[in-house]
Structure 1
């Protein structure tokens, strides 16, 4: 059983993808935000360490074979400020805390065999590619041979959400590196109605009305089809004509820009948090703590990962390690 150390774990989407393969065991998980930590602890045996990563030493963490993490992406995101390592909130620089921990593990002769990171597609092109080059240089300095690829959930996860992300895998072993390849595309057989309940009346808080939304008439004129997803784009409605959901974002619960909307029984409504987690490929039995507000759950779903894509990559990683 390969051991895993998880960083910036959020609600555990990456962790879950690895665990679903039955090849890995989580021995450590870290996330500073107490709200996704609450969701994580409701679903995983290994309980979350909620200390600031700046305060965590390599010697304080159990040794592990694989480091996984989705280091904060807002600084590199098309939906964010694109400031990268210069982000004034320090989010871009958090990658260097992972490097620090790896260096400390190396001094202990306990450097992980593999690193696996997920991030926004824009990370590759940010600052004309210089940001990504810095990341690769640091990993290569530590001895990792790195492969990376942008994968879309619709093509590689059988999930009806248009979500492109960069996946980065680094191996200490040149043989494992050479054996590893990213998954091949698969057919999208899962439909929107497998993730979204178009046929039932849900809690009234999810519905838009003329009393609760001043541009309701624009919604009513544009949102006319069942079994598809629209987006409210501040001043207009955009229909997604590819029969998949647009990329879920962390601000879906604020009622502002890029809110996915559907026409269903009872009228026009936004997706529920559970439906958003469904569209990220989380299993139906994944627990969403009742004490957390919908706004926090929307943020957690939007910040998470597509679990089936992670699982497919995790299988290929373990196969590569087993072959050497």
Structure 2
């Protein structure tokens, strides 16, 4: 069962690892349309998670997954319990766990959750997980580049096992892939994809911006421009100092992409194609997140970028899915009556 499903990155990875979705909840109408279009048999519940009654689910939920948005809790007293987090999306995820009692749950979040609100946000989450009857595996920040994803992207992963099972089994984190993938792997036929990236729609630069970006080399950024062009492009920011390494950034074919955001041409997080002077197209974006080419995104071009930019990379999800399947198999073998002599 998946919450905050978005455009499907986590769900596809879990499917590829052999898990079956019984319910996916998502609020964004375009993301829901994407999920339904690609997987008509998936049970997609569109709307606010606060309105979903999880007690109505008849199937047994082995695993619950989801990436809840990072929100601060308001502190009246010192430590907060489950009820005190009401009003946040984490509370809704915790409620779903309480109502479905999965054997295991996996939550993903931004790395910043580790230090959010001086670490209090994570402490509250840990205490609520304990109160719900789950044992948290020590959280880890996983780097997508180690899991066959051509992108420098980090996610904090929380895995928790129901306490009646936790002492008998161990969660094994996925092993890193043997090599790091680059944009060349994403855009051309090879180990990641059988074909070159298909043509697709994409944003375009205004004429003057395109002229300036022409001068940025592969892997370069605004500091690689002449001083005149730096001043013109950066405006007032020119005098503020600092690296601003995302500005006027052209990606390099021989490196992984920088983290994708919800749009390829935001001033602070420019993602210019390595060879052509234009923002990355939708299918290029999708490949950097390791979506299959036949996974179609519904809604406008901007809606597609947003769904892709917010996703968990499919190959990283698949690696985590394999770890969860291994854990479930270990749990299942506990439940089998032993026969014969040990």
Bin for the TM-score computed over the shorter chain: 0.7 to 0.9
Q: C-alpha displacement at 1:202, in angstroms?
A: 5.3
Pick from 99, 105, 125: which aligns with 2:115?
125
Structure 1 match to 2:271: 260
Q: Which runs of 5+ in 2 are unaligned?
A: 75-84, 190-195, 224-229, 235-246, 335-342
- Looking at structure 1, the residues matched to 117 and 153 of structure 2 have their Cα atoms a distance apart, in angstroms, of 22
Structure 2 match to 1:270: 279
- Looking at structure 1, the residues matched to 99 and 45 of structure 2 have their Cα atoms a distance apart, in angstroms, of 19
> By percentage of residues, which structure has more strand?
1
Structure 1 match to 2:166: 174
Q: Is the 8 A contact 2:26 2:46 kept in 1?
A: yes
Pick from 312, 315, 325: which aligns with 1:305?
312
> Are the structure 2 counterparts of residues 201 and 29 from structure 1 closer, same or farther at C-alpha, using a change threshold of 3 Å?
closer
Q: Specify the SS of the correspondent of 1:140.
A: helix
Q: What do the CA deviations read for 1:235-281 (whole angstroms, capped 9, x no partner)?
A: 3424556711110011336x5431310243xx401111111111111
Is the radius of gyration larger for structure 1 or structure 2?
Answer: 2
Moved more, 228-237 or 311-320: 228-237
Q: Using CA pairs below 8 Å that are at least 6 residues apart, which structure has the higher relative contact order?
A: 2
- Looking at structure 1, the residues matched to 202 and 95 of structure 2 have their Cα atoms a distance apart, in angstroms, of 45
- Looking at structure 2, the residues matched to 314 and 200 of structure 1 have their Cα atoms a distance apart, in angstroms, of 26
Moved more, 229-238 or 36-45: 229-238
Structure 2 match to 1:285: 294
- Show the 5 A alignment for 1:209-228: 212-222=206-216, 224-225=217-218
Q: Which runs of 5+ in 1 are unaligned?
A: 76-83, 106-110
Q: C-alpha displacement at 1:205, in angstroms?
A: 5.7
Q: C-alpha displacement at 1:96, in angstroms?
A: 0.3
Pick from 28, 31, 34: which aligns with 1:36?
31
- Looking at structure 2, the residues matched to 261 and 91 of structure 1 have their Cα atoms a distance apart, in angstroms, of 41
Q: C-alpha displacement at 1:216, in angstroms?
A: 3.4
Matched, 1:25 2:37: no
Structure 2 match to 1:247: 259
Q: Is the 8 A contact 1:153 1:162 kept in 2?
A: yes
Q: Specify the SS of the correspondent of 1:96.
A: helix
Matched, 1:139 2:149: no
Give TM-score scaled by structure 1 length.
Answer: 0.80
CA RMSD between the two structures? 3.0
